[in-house]
């Protein structure tokens, strides 16, 4: 049996309405000690005053929820107060003084998980939604609420569980004639089918993670191609210094913006060219390094000067990367291809090219697993299954390969939180907001 916890779940700031959440076996009794209105029935609102002995603290609406049919899975009360910081904290103080304990970060969600109201996939999705910084992050987080990803993982677990059970029977009761005899011929296809399913999850998830995390974009080019002007135009602020002097940018300047469904993390780099200046050389080395680390390279070329040998070297350095060749200063000279004017803020063709680059990523694919912890466990389960397949090809018996299959099952179970790992749960929920 849990104790009763409380916290401000709407954020401790001045706002129109604040919400104080109380959850646990004594939630109704504790609130009724300081509330003048009626104790409501399940899923009802009642109006009244919060009192500190004879002194009124606030007029409030109180929502009553009877467990276990609540988010947390236990009796829960939510006090909707006027959103001042002082009165909201006073109400919380009264609740704590009457027997509740201050909730830890994520404790309401943790209880919800422990009470079987949601698995870790949904719990992490809630936290991801709270911290989302782009439309694509929001969309991917909300998609996890429908349980389809959890169902997909559950189905894979069940397939492995059936194989594990059959292996165990073959090991423990080899003399039983009515038990399916496992051989390489019937076990290998089953494992290879699961391997292919997990490979597909890894494939679509890896390609989609760049959308969730943000696309790292390196703006590269020769000095005075207009890289800093482009960064400023994209961000709509004077982030980088713009002068007519070549080589002004010697360090990485960066910022973020949303283009379509993509969050761009843009970096303006030092102009790449031959130089004897030691400081400038360091900047150029950083620029080349950014090309290798980026998800997308925007190669900016001066339309008036045209493509030079140094531009050809930049293009070669970006080989194998998503790459956009962009002609700048189209207000002076027009070139074929993606043509812009950073100075005049004419960027339409660049925006369209960026959206085109990532248009084939389907954020509605239920196989997408963007969460780092979940994806690493899926990859680990894939390795274990591949180890089991290798063992079968080496003519190893069920008693040997079952270890790898069990490991794969454990990894998938940990995605949903179905394995008993207290340390994992502590690490997970401590990153949640207070009152969640």
Q: Which residues are annotated as a binding site for GTP?
A: 224-229, 243-249, 268-271
For the annotated binding site for (6S)-5-formyl-5,6,7,8-tetrahydrofolate, the residues are 21, 78, 117, 436
For residue 283, give the nearest of 316, 248, 244 by alpha carbon: 248
Sheet of 101-102, strand order: 44-52, 55-65, 76-82, 17-23, 5-8, 101-102
For the annotated binding site for Mg(2+), the residues are 228, 249
Which residue, chain included where needed, has tokens 């993509």?
Answer: 262
Cα 311 to Cα 318, 350, 351, distances in angstroms? 11, 19, 22
Contact 303, 221 (CB under 8 A): no
Sheet of 338-339, strand order: 253-259, 262-268, 215-221, 296-302, 323-328, 338-339
Would you say the C-alpha torsion 135, 138, 142, 143 has a positive or negative sign? positive
| Distant-in-sequence, close-in-space partners of 171: CB < 8 Å, separation ≥ 6 | 398, 399, 402
Euclidean distance between CA atoms 234 and 217, whole angstroms: 12
For the annotated binding site, the residues are 21, 78, 117, 224-229, 243-249, 268-271, 436
Token digits for 97? Answer: 């003084």
State the Cα torsion 430-433-435-436 to the nearest 10°: -80
């Amino acid at each position: 049996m849990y104790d009763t916890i409380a916290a401000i779940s709407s954020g401790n700031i001045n706002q129109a309405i604040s919400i104080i959440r109380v959850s646990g076996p004594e939630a109704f009794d504790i609130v009724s000690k300081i509330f003048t209105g009626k104790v409501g029935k399940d899923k009802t609102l009642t109006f009244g005053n919060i009192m500190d002995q004879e002194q009124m603290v606030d007029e409030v609406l109180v929502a009553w929820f009877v467990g276990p049919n609540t988010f947390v899975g236990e009796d829960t009360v939510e006090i909707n107060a006027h959103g001042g910081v002082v009165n909201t904290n006073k109400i919380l103080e009264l609740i704590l003084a009457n027997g509740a304990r201050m909730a830890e970060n994520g404790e309401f969600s943790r209880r919800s998980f422990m009470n079987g109201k949601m698995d870790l996939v949904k719990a992490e999705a809630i936290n991801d939604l709270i911290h989302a910084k782009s439309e694509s992050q929001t969309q991917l987080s909300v998609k996890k609420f429908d349980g389809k990803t959890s169902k997909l993982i559950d189905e894979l677990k069940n397939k492995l569980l059936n194989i594990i059970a059959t292996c165990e029977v073959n090991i423990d009761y080899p003399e039983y004639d009515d038990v399916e005899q496992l051989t390489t011929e019937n076990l290998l296809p089953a494992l290879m089918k699961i391997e292919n399913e997990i490979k597909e999850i890894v494939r679509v998830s890896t390609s989609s993670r760049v959308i969730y995390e943000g696309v790292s974009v390196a703006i590269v080019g020769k000095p005075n191609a207009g890289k800093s002007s482009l960064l400023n135009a994209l961000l709509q602020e004077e982030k980088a210094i713009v002068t007519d002097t070549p080589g002004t940018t010697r360090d990485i300047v960066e910022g973020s913006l949303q283009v379509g469904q993509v969050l761009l993390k843009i970096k303006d780099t030092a102009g790449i060219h031959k130089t004897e200046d030691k400081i400038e050389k360091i900047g150029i080395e950083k620029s080349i390094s950014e090309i290798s680390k980026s998800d997308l390279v925007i190669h900016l070329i001066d339309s008036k000067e045209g493509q030079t040998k140094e531009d050809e070297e930049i293009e070669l350095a970006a080989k194998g990367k998503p790459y956009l060749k962009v002609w700048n200063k189209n207000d002076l000279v027009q070139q074929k291809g993606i043509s812009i004017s950073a100075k005049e803020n004419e960027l339409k063709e660049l925006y369209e090219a960026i959206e085109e680059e990532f248009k084939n990523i389907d954020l509605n694919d239920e196989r997408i697993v963007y969460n780092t912890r979940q994806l690493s466990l899926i990859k680990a389960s894939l390795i274990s299954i591949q180890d089991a397949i290798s063992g079968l090809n080496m003519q190893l018996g069920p008693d040997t390969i079952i270890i790898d299959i069990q490991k794969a099952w454990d990894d998938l179970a940990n995605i949903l939180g179905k394995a008993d790992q207290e340390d994992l749960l502590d690490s997970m929920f401590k990153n949640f907001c207070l009152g969640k």
